[in-house]
Structure 1
Amino acid sequence: MGAFELEARPLYGIGTVARLTRIKPGTLRIWDRRYGLGASYKSQSGRRMYTQTDLEHLQIVASLVDRGYRIGEIANMERKTLAALLDQAGAGQGVTTKIRIKTLCLGSAFCDWLDKHPNMVSGLDVRLMREELESAVASGDLGALPARILIVSVGQLSRTQVDLIEQARRQIGAPLTLVAYEFANPHWIEQLAERGVACLKVPLDQERFGVHMAGLRQAVELDQGNSDAGELALLKPRLFDTARLTELKQIDSLLACGCTHHLAELIESLSNFERYSSECAVEGWSDAATHACVHAYINQARFLVERALASVLEEKSDRE
């Protein structure tokens, strides 16, 4: 990986891992010495920390040991083999065997922000790369990082930065991308949006960031065939503004049954709740993740009803 350092996130101390695996710290240390089942990440200060992958591997091992397997027999097995044994034992439920989505965070500004909000990447297999975009792309090392989600931070979003973002995506393998920027011309934001790249202005709002990340996660899971909510995709734009909805509620219905009025009222209601769900205060990542999913689903519902209303208006236009 060249001279650039990658930092794993999230990280856990041995006390946290002991609580989450129900393995005593002393036992964890013995497993580390004898079988190499220890913390894989070492900070610049020399402290060893457990990554998300380390934790989940130990959770599977601990579950198998609880069911009678000897640690010496399973310690060197690969995770897929351990997960298969767990499934055979009928104990797969409640133990994480799902592969986490690989996510690369590029740029010191966003990495520093994530240090203060570590729970925002809960459930992802994250690597932080504090190098700036230009030097990271020039190194050519990004090709060794097969991430599914790329988060990039830039200062000024210019044509040069847009080109560099595209180069980074090609090197990594065209991942879904989110850009955090300080300053930008709307033209370049639109250019990235046309390429499927979302942009957020810093300072980042945790709620909005959570909404976008929920969409990116769901898109990856849908592509992998792991999603049980495939209809949850990237956020949809509004087709009718408030003024147009008010107008449609006041005119005579375009359908004998009065559906035009009902559709306009329903869209207005969904739009209000969509705005509320994106702005209401939450505490902790768990609540934020729930609100993010609610907001994304309401967004999809509003868009589908707008499509229904648009079809009514198009039919009326064709008749005229």
Structure 2
Amino acid sequence: MRKYLDANIICDTKSMSKEKWLKKRKEGIGGSDAASVLGLNPYKSSMSVYMNIKNDLVIDEEINYKMDLGNKLEDFVANEFTLKTGKKVRNVNGILKNDKYPFALANIDRAVVGEKAFLECKVTNSYSKKLWQKEVPIYIQVQCYHYMAVTGATHCYIAALIGNEELVIHKLDREEVLINEIMNLEKMFWDKCILGEELPIPDGSDDYSSVLQGLYKDSIEEEVILFEKEDLLKRYDDVRELVKDLDSERKAIEQYLQMQMKDYEVAYLGDRKITWKKQVRNTVDTKRLKKEHPEIVEKYMKTTISRVFRI
């Protein structure tokens, strides 16, 4: 079996189909899943990871144009990294696994030749420029520490192409305490949620709400006493008031900007673009339709069932 540092290369990905690769990823927690499991990924929830691994029938990874473009630009970013640093990199072309962490998988972008290190290639938009110039976003850091755990690498490099205008390079050194904490949390998720019957901890995501609606779509007309701490609802009330206040502030800022724009459709403030365009939308007058042609309404009526939650 081929190896990369401390990890075994359990399968070759060079000629593997996308479908087979996605199925193979279901056998463990990948680097891009790690931050989601910890609740630190703003783009993907822990429930999304849970459903993707647990669902044997459907692979819900949608390869959109942005992701496809990022994959195509990976070679360019790796070459630019070599030109800027003089460090050579190579493809590993395999899914990595370490016996120490049987629940974890790794797919590194490149191995750095002559070092116990790997390279991660990222492509992002210009809105992330200030953050990337300062540091590596936390969810990418977690991904890299996950890879360090699986591979045994002592450090890694992250090269990010920002808005097709700048290449930013960062180095992350191995942090043993942090890595242990990350892998312990991943193991807990794997044991309790994937191997066990527990759902992930609620995270406020739409994914989580959809799963709950699916699991408990049928209700019984009975009552139940909850033995939760009552300060949970007090916090709920506080959050609702906070959201209401923040929403009012957001609307006030929007109104101020609209007042400055007047009749103009597009405005610029610093490097931000603001639009306030006229939009025409045609809708069916359902009230009139029901009154004048009730038979048509009846013919095309669609019934949906959902549960409404109120406190």
Query: Same fold per TM (> 0.5)?
Result: no
Structure-1-length-normalised TM-score: 0.21
Q: Choose between structure 1 and 2 for higher RCO, CA contacts under 8 A separated by at least 6 residues.
A: 2
Return the structure number with greater helix share.
1
Structure-2-length-normalised TM-score: 0.22
